[in-house]
Amino acid sequence: MDLTFDKRWRDLVKKLSDRFDGGTLDLNAILFLIGVQELGQHARDFKKDEKVGLMHIAICVVLLPYGYYKELGRDADGWPHFEPAKELPPLASAEQERLMKEAVLGYFEEG
Report the alpha-carbon distance of residue 79 to residue 93 in Å, rounded. 29
Taking each helix axis as running N to C, give the angle between helix 93-110 and helix 48-63, from 0 to 180 degrees, rounded to the nearest 10: 80
| Nearest Cα to Cα of residue 108 among 24, 41, 8 | 8
Model pLDDT for residues 38-61, shown as the tens digit of each residue: 999 877 899 999 999 999 999 999
Model pLDDT for residues 11-31, shown as the tens digit of each residue: 999 999 998 877 899 999 999
Write down the domain spans for the chain. 3-110
Q: Are 36 and 54 in contact (CB under 8 A)?
A: yes
Name 30's Cβ contacts closer than 8 Å, sequence gap at least 6: 12, 13, 16, 104
